[in-house]
Structure 1
């Protein structure tokens, strides 16, 4: 007589955000019937180590927090950085002004001051620095900051303006010094900067707001012969320099130049990318190419947002519907129009983050953390959407579905987690999985379709039957065995 040992069920915690109203809600009832489709986890198949996931400190966001009651300000900081919230671990900020500043400003306004004797970060003291410090105060594990200038001081450029133009070669040394002084000034405030990019969006941005043009050759020259050696000489060689910092479809010519030989590669710690090339395509081939070119370097998404839209206030349904448009809807060239259809904001975030994590990206940073009902403030009136929208006049706060979507990743996939292999039988589900340093496994599943999906989650010889709501994102935590 033989008896079959009953298979032990997989123990899980499940959290879901859905178009039907779940907001990182714990799911405790699971289907009993066997599912036809499976998601098989392959923990022995490992990929990149995660650097972090989070959002950006901007003067716009910080100034809005300062207009709210202390209760609401603290609520937002806790929601992003506290143990009860999204636990952001990787962030970004701007070096001097950007479009999401209240005005144009530079830390070195005096023309001809090549030694930067009058360098000052005073413009950041009212809003930006206090926001960063508030976040540091509530973050248990801490977070890293990537800092990017949108331009050099205007007098260092060929057009002497904040917008457009090129850095003149005779000021390469002064601009390298500018970074070093910035790092010192922030350190004096108790803020360590983990990484830098030489400039935000070196292709320019249509000459709309602060920008400065670099070709791949020019930026590589600046980093290889000026910025890298300067930081090394000043004892700041551990600060990570991430090259490029623009859209993915242009990445090949940049990594070919940055990593062409040992000398050019030496000071680049990795590559920074943005998502604005398309509302749906995450460019897996380009990401794979960048990884293969420099497999031991960082590959970090440093900016993405719902751009060219005014936020919808207290209207969760909008964030799940294909009604959003981006800059490309109106402005892209005819050959690129197909990359910019209408889209659902939640879908764009979930698809892109999962797509990135499944193609060697090790960090993902959202743009503004907080904006107002207009999608600003922004000196250029370049309106955008943030995960948290506020009405400072009435002291009201709205956590959009994008906030919960971000938290599905940042809260549960922690720094130094390893992305692991996944096999699935339902091609309509997007899935990524990571093994955290504490031994737990986080699985993120996204169901873009308008029907409930049942599946069996399998790990080794254990499984559990689960279901995901229509139009929903789910994080499944498997505790350490």
Structure 2
């Protein structure tokens, strides 16, 4: 929103203060296209002085003299289609957006996060029932202890309707192309051998009921005009948290559940919904490989989702090479007080949550909470020092745009849904990068100088190119128009 003249001076002064603090004014940076014959650049620096800041355009010309360390772009070599980028609309995030902010504040933030002239986020993960970032523990079919509900007569969307669904509807109104990925943290307690949302495993006799639970949820979301495009079978199935909902679900059991229950149930439902396997860390690639190795389960699995909390991101490419017809998504990572260095988080997240997944075939990246309050909540159990994309102060309503905001913005504002990753090879030592071609023909290069020195970046491809310097630690997004017309 353009400030009124009377407010401009105050907002400018606030912006100067916010260069070193994590606060910001009421609207984030706006995207604008590349110059007709030049290269537009946006940069973030390790000292946080530049945060997704527009730089001076540089000329695009016939390909610069070839250097051995040039980044070679080939728009004709296209790979996966991009779905998008975003975060999770947890109960915590939705409650803050819906119940803490005023209507005007909420509308501004939603427009900034999801609008095409803002961050343009378009991929959201949604917990099915409570996660650790919920003020209470619940499923969508809770019954008194010692009883069960195999007919799902008690299924209810009352809790999501309090804040999560209205927040999602507001986001979808701003961005009609919003894509949802839904994940359960636990089956209802009565379906499990623990009799509780905390710990335990799904009883074999309740596999069918759990599949129907998914169907009821998907139908309810359709009725709310919030169609879900992907579901994951279980959030972090190799982990049983002690103080918030979770459920251990072994690979062989997931394969049986998908092959004999969830897959057929979603097929019978008729509306296409992709089933994503794993939804856990990089340290156990044998888990999704085992499920994909089961031919009956594999027929229903559309892809594999990954988290960041353990292991090596290189395994995403390993699994994708084994099953190249299956999609890749990066579905969760949170920063927090354990990583307070802005520049370090900027670089690590860009490399491991955006560039590495993209080069491994990922169709999108999702960070953890979209919004948390000044106390890292609201929550009940789990992470007590996690950081969200934005922090909403529950007392003052001030909005802090955290490093995650800018990491996402370096791709979400420029790489549009339907874009294709294109080949980008070479480059000087210490440079990581990924390149894209948008549906409108514009090209995007995301680059990170992970070295401790200025790097000379030379980009060449398609008979054109450009050259510039990238300061140590900087993340830069370059956008330009391809001069050669392609189909």
- Specify whether residues 381 and 152 from structure 1 end up closer, same or farther in structure 2 by C-alpha distance, changes over 3 A only: closer
For residues 169-214 of structure 1, the C-alpha deviation after alignment (integer angstroms, 9 at most, x for no partner) is 1111111111111111111111111111111011014434211111
**Matched position secondary structure for 1:470:** coil
State how 1:211-360 maps to structure 2 within 5 Å. Answer: 211-236=246-271, 238-261=272-295, 263-278=296-311, 281-282=312-313, 284=314, 286-307=315-336, 309=337, 318-320=341-343, 344-352=344-352, 353-360=354-361
Would you say the 8 A contact 1:112–1:155 is kept in 2? yes
Distance 2:293 2:458 in 1: 43
Q: Larger deviation: 298-307 or 447-456?
A: 447-456
Task: Report Cα offsets for 1:193-250 as digits up to 9, x if no partner.
Answer: 11111110110144342111111110010010011111222324x1111111111221
Contact 2:305 2:330 in 1 (8 A): yes
* Aligned counterparts of 1:381 and 1:162: Cα–Cα separation in 2: 14
Of 42-51 and 434-443, more deviation after overlay is shown by 42-51
Q: Secondary structure at the match of 1:28?
A: coil
1:120 corresponding residue in structure 2: 156
1:297 deviation in Å? 1.5
TM-score by length of 2: 0.85
2:38 is the counterpart of 1:11: yes
Equivalent residue, structure 2, for 1:134: 170
Residue 376 to residue 27, structure 1, CA distance change in 2 (3 Å) = same
TM-aligned CA deviation for residue 34 of structure 1: 8.4
- 1:325 corresponds to which residue? none
User: Is 2:38–2:58's contact at 8 Å kept on the other side of the alignment?
Assistant: no
After superposition, give the CA deviation of every residue in 1:10-43 in whole Å (9 maximum; x if it has no partner).
7311111223412222111559998965222122
Kept in 1: contact 2:135–2:379 (CA 8 A): yes
* Equivalent-residue separation in structure 1 for 2:70 and 2:482 (angstroms): 21
SS in 1 for 2:475: strand
Please give the residue correspondences for 1:149-164 in structure 2 after superposition, counting only pairs within 5 Å.
Answer: 149-164=184-199
Instruction: Give the Cα separation in 1 of the matches to 2:462 and 2:190.
Output: 62
User: 1:94 and 1:122 mapped to 2: Cα distance?
Assistant: 14
1:187 paired to 2:210: no
The change in CA–CA distance for 1:376 and 1:96 in structure 2 (over 3 A counts) is: same
CA 1:447/1:478 → structure 2, altered by over 3 Å: closer, same or farther?
Answer: same
How far 1:134 sits from its partner (Å)?
0.9
In 2, the alpha carbon distance for the partners of 1:260 and 1:240 equals 17
**Residue by residue, what CA displacement relative to the aligned partner does 1:298-335 show, whole Å, maximum 9, x if unpaired?**
1111111115x3796xxxxx312xxxxxxxxxxxxxxx
Name 1:324's counterpart in structure 2.
none
Residue 341 of structure 1 is matched in structure 2 by none
Q: Residue 403 of structure 1 corresponds to which residue in structure 2?
A: 405
Matched residue of 2:325: which SS?
coil
Deviations 1:361-419, CA, capped at 9 Å, x for gaps: 22211111111122211111522011211212011111123211111111212222221
Deviation at 1:93, TM superposition (A): 0.4
Specify the alignment match of 2:480 in structure 1.
478
Alignment of 1:44-193 (within 5 A): 44-65=76-97, 66-110=99-143, 111-139=147-175, 142-193=177-228
The residue that corresponds to 1:4 in the other structure is none
Distance in 1 (CA, whole Å) between partners of 2:220 and 2:57 is 53
Counterpart CA distance in 1 for 2:242 and 2:429 is: 41
Structure 2 unaligned blocks of 5 or more: 1-35
CA–CA separation in structure 2 for the residues paired with 1:397 and 1:425: 38
Which consecutive residues of structure 1, in runs of 5 or more, have no partner in the other structure? 1-8, 313-317, 321-343
Match of residue 365 from structure 2: 364
Matched residues in 2 for 1:301 and 1:403: separation?
16
Which among 12, 24, 30 is matched to residue 52 of structure 2? Answer: 24
Aligned to 2:419: 417
Q: Structure 1's 480 and 42: CA in aligned 2 closer, same or farther, altered over 3 A?
A: closer
- Verify the 8 A CA contact 1:100 1:376 in the aligned structure 2: yes
Aligned residue pair count = 437
SS at match of 1:264: helix
Deviates more, 1:103-112 or 1:458-467: 458-467
Q: Is the 8 A contact 1:438 1:480 kept in 2?
A: no
Q: Which residue in the other structure is 2:470 paired with?
A: 468
Q: TM-score, normalised by structure 1?
A: 0.86
SS at match of 1:269: strand
The DSSP-based 3-state class of the residue aligned with 1:42 is strand
Tell me the distance in 1 between the aligned counterparts of 2:304 and 2:182.
14
2:355–2:434 Cα contact (<8 Å) kept: yes
Q: Check the 8 A contact 1:35/1:454 in 2, yes or no.
A: no
